[in-house]
Amino acid sequence: MRSTGFLAILLCFICMPLFVKGEGNIINNTDKGTTDPVIEFNIDTIQKKVLSMNLSMNVRYTTIVEAYIKGYVIRNRPKSQKILGKTLLYFPIFEEKLKKRGLPNDLKYLAVVESALNPTALSRVGAKGLWQFMPETGRDYGLEISDFIDERCDPYDATDAAISYLERLHEKYDDWALAIAAYNSGPGRVNRAIKRARSKNFWKLSRFLPKETRNYVPAFIAAAYLIEHHETHQLEPEYPPFDFQLTESTMVYHTLSFYTVAQVTGLALDIIRELNPKYTDDFVPQSIHGSKMVLPSRVMTAFKDYLTMIKPDPGMDLSMDGVPVYATTPIDVDLQSFYTKSIYTVGEDDDLDELSQLFKCPKHCLVAWNGLQNRELVRGQDLILYQPKEFKRFSMRRDDVKVPAGIPAPGLKSLHSGLAHTTSGISSQQVDNMLYLFYELKMGESLQEVLIKYPNNTIQDLIKLNNLSPENPPLAGTKIKVRKL
């Protein structure tokens, strides 16, 4: 289909020199100036494990397969642990869709080779997403790619497209090794290699393929080995924060800025972006069919509160000027602190599906948190659970407006009397900023329509606050002072 560039990067790692002790079975992972421990790499054991893997193709253990495995388990261990952690987010999506289409489960490993499970990965030739689609191929398989949306970055849509493409390639070759090779380089090169080798056996025709495609199936085998046997090499998954594990989605029909989402939910922009990678310009464009918005479960209630509040006027100004927005999560904020850990003792008839529904927690998270090798539970077994400490709600009521640290809130008497200053030491300007805002009248908009948006005002309030009269009526574009919600 295209050259990704990620294979070339991995080759840089596997071509670096190794320090070998004994008979080549122990590798020293010590960089200059560090004292990392010696890591075992028993070639005979690894070869047996590779050849025993139940993959959908004829598996061989070659020097290239070995080199890729060394790249994963020796030279680039931190990246490998991140990949293992991200399987928690994306493999359940792949597995469900592959199962529905009746395709081999191990095809999920292809995304490891393609993008290292990075949904916004971009190759040097323009391939993008978990499955590294070029724009024209992506559009051929139904992906929207525009100025504001790139569905190549959407884990669900891109996976559907990738599965359709792989299914078509397998129908053509009736061989998954050839289908995977064609996914990398396109059917044309594979067809020419078949013709020159007079064989449809990948291992016999591979020498007639371009170098990257020749190494592609070995890289796939190595990725499968990493996922299935990482414990052998003391590799521990680096799971993402719970804000990325425990999520929900809802549909948005009107244009919505990520900036507003951040104000409503209290999330930093980088979290919103990472959970919604298909939106390219920090906003959800308007769509009569609706666009999916993914957010942590702990803030989804607040977001739905907001969507309900702005119906039927999505352009309503809720005036959250005082709410800070962070591009990235502040270093003093521990995302894990929003969650609580608890222990559940398994009952006689409990199973993972029922517990997943009971605790509203994805089944694959229960498996990962508890290191379950199989999905069968035993009575009396303790299960670790993580759940949000609370679910955020959204309200524009006055008593929910936060006052900056160090400035005491004005008393109730001051709030309603509109006194210029109070005994608390707050200046009249500070009180004004907390209680009022300026709203710009639109063409043809009446004061009654303003009251619908700001219902804690009255006509008398608006007249008094803005010195209005029949001789001094408000005009379109006039900024009038109103009480905050």
Catalytic residues: 114
Long-range contacts of 169-176 (CB under 8 A, 24+ apart): 170/103, 173/200, 175/57, 175/200, 175/202, 176/56, 176/57, 176/104, 176/107
The answer for residues whose C-beta is within 8 angstroms of residue 353's C-beta and 6 or more apart is 363
Q: Could you write out the three-class secondary structure of 392-412?
A: CCCCCCHHHCCCCCCCCCCCH
Instruction: Identify the burial level of 241 via C-beta atoms within 10 angstroms of its C-beta, where 0-12 means exposed, 13-18 middle and 19 or more buried.
Output: middle
The answer for residues whose C-beta is within 8 angstroms of residue 449's C-beta and 6 or more apart is none
| Whole-angstrom distance, CA of residue 374 vs CA of residue 367 | 8
Instruction: Please name the residue that has the structure tokens 């005491």.
Output: 408
| Whole-angstrom distance, CA of residue 41 vs CA of residue 39 | 6
| Whole-angstrom distance, CA of residue 228 vs CA of residue 244 | 23
Query: What CA dihedral angle connects 91, 96, 102 and 105, to 10 degrees?
Result: 20
Give the Å distances, CA to CA, from 297 to 246, 324, 356, 393.
Answer: 6, 21, 15, 12
Contact 111/268 with Cβ under 8 angstroms?
Answer: no
Instruction: Identify the burial level of 475 via C-beta atoms within 10 angstroms of its C-beta, where 0-12 means exposed, 13-18 middle and 19 or more buried.
Output: exposed
User: Helices in 102-215 by DSSP H: which ranges?
Assistant: 110-115, 135-140, 155-173, 176-185, 187-197, 202-205, 211-214
Structure tokens at 460: 């008398």
Give the Å distances, CA to CA, from 82 to 79, 344, 481.
Answer: 5, 28, 52
> b/e for 365-403, b at 16 or more Cβ within 10 A?
bbbbbeeeeeeebeeeeebebbbbeeebebebeeeebee
